[in-house]
Amino acid sequence: MKRLTVSIQVIILEIILLLVIGVVERLLLRIFHHPKRAKHLWWGWTIILWILIIFNMGFYWPAYPIALWMILALLLIALQIIHNHEFIYRRYWPVFWRYSAYYALIIYISSLIITPWLPLI
């Protein structure tokens, strides 16, 4: 079985892909501009980054960061319930997707660095 590593060429292609997606996102937000909308499509960035994480690490290792992501989502719900004494989706989703994108970016960068040292499963 071939060792799953991330080569420099793959990293460059993924960075180019992320830049192209960023430009397309900018264009879409300019075309469909709404004054109350966010400046980024956080849910889209999160999904794209998780796809790249799975591509880099395989199907086994991303399960651990995804499990932690679910725990963080539940903690965010608990925090909102404690702070506001209620759970409101309209307040939850923007914060959830923004933090999810930040978390996915950290895991993505980690996947580029640690993949060669992960044991084969």
Quick: pLDDT tens for 37-84: 667 889 999 999 999 999 988 888 899 999 999 999 999 999 999 988
Distances, alpha carbon 24 to alpha carbons 18, 41, 43, 44, 110, in Å: 10, 11, 15, 12, 25
User: Which pLDDT does position 4 carry in this prediction?
Assistant: 54
Please say whether the beta carbons of 50 and 104 come within 8 A: yes
* Phi-psi label, residue 58: left if phi above 0, alpha if psi -120 to 50, beta otherwise: left
The one-letter amino acid code at 29 reads L
pLDDT above 90: residue 98: yes
How many of the other CB atoms lie within 10 Å of CB of 49?
A: 23
